[in-house]
Amino acid sequence: MASLSEKIKVKALEIGFQEIGFARAEALTEEGARLGEWLARDFHGEMAWLGREPEKRSDPRLIFPGAKSVIVLLLNYYTPHEHVPGPGLGKVSRYAWGDDYHDIVKNKLRELLEWIKTEVPGADGKVCVDTAPIMDKAWAVRAGLGWLGKHTNLITKEYGSWVFIGEIIVNFELDHAPEIVPDHCGTCTACLDACPTGAIVAPFLVDSKACLSYATIELRASEFSPEISENLEGWLYGCDICQDVCPWNRFQKPAGEPDFEPRGGETSIDLDEVLSLSPEKYAERFRRTAIKRAKLGGLQRNARALKKKP
């Protein structure tokens, strides 16, 4: 007879997840200490929320009292398209080409949790995507789904790093014996060498303040520093350089999820269009996409900086 963990895995794959693993709900002591050191070095920049209640980020029992297990799930988002090159266009990070992944992943997690509740008497749980105070990548490693690359993204042997991570924290025990995947980056430094701003200051360590993704999405300043503006390399929203050069992404596979396909076939956006947007048109244009995270002012700042490039 299949175990409960095996049944949950079968259902998760049926719902559309590619990988699933289980871990004991306990404090991430070492990972929490590293987070504290990263925060102390101010590598989080303006992302002040990362510094609030860091103890919650490293202990799921503080997020969901009664937690016994963490179910970690991966959803492949790779679609086989390339950026449209050309003057006057700004590149968009692959994860934001389609519909907002928060909604897609969360809906699948909720569907799985509701099914679990019908299978396990008294079962309850909390669904988490990356907006919850939880260390997604650390839990994926704990659950045996991959390893943390030198660019600090999760890497899997099966799908490379093009995966979204979600969790369900539950109040019952599951099989907690994952085979931890060892680091397979070896001596490779492709991501460090390719980063145009040197944001990967050391293997497994990123200074967000120098990262193009942070600058074009999270930063609220009205203008970029010269170090950012001179090294945008055409990026309007986000940056995929460290993932594009990663040798493990030769194992990327098409997601098969229609909602991850580029909206309107767009992988790059016309800069003049961005600069002409009113708040109303902006809200309509990017409704239910991750791009709205940058706000209209941020996206137009990015477009102005790209327009200044020779």
3-state secondary structure of 116: helix
Residues 6+ apart with CB under 8 A from 212: 196, 197, 199, 228, 231, 232, 233, 235, 238, 239, 241
Instruction: Return the closest-CA partner of residue 24 out of 51, 61, 50, 75.
Output: 61
What is d(CA 192, CA 268) in angstroms, rounded to the nearest whole number? Answer: 25
Question: Is 272 annotated as catalytic?
Answer: no
What is d(CA 67, CA 60) in angstroms, rounded to the nearest whole number? Answer: 7
Are residues 40 and 205 in contact, defined by beta-carbon separation less than 8 angstroms? no
Which alpha helices (H) appear in the chain, and where do they start and end? 4-15, 29-40, 54-57, 101-119, 136-142, 190-194, 212-213, 226-229, 241-244, 271-276, 279-285, 295-307
Bridge pairing between strands 200-202 and 268-270: unpaired
What is d(CA 99, CA 109) in angstroms, rounded to the nearest whole number? Answer: 16
Residue among 103, 130, 259, 270 flagged as catalytic: 130
Determine what percent of the chain falls in helix, strand and coil, rounding each to the nearest 5: 40, 15, 45
53: alpha, beta or left? (left if phi > 0; alpha if psi -120 to 50): left
The partner residues of 74 in beta bridges, in order of sequence, read 19, 165
Which residues carry out catalysis?
130
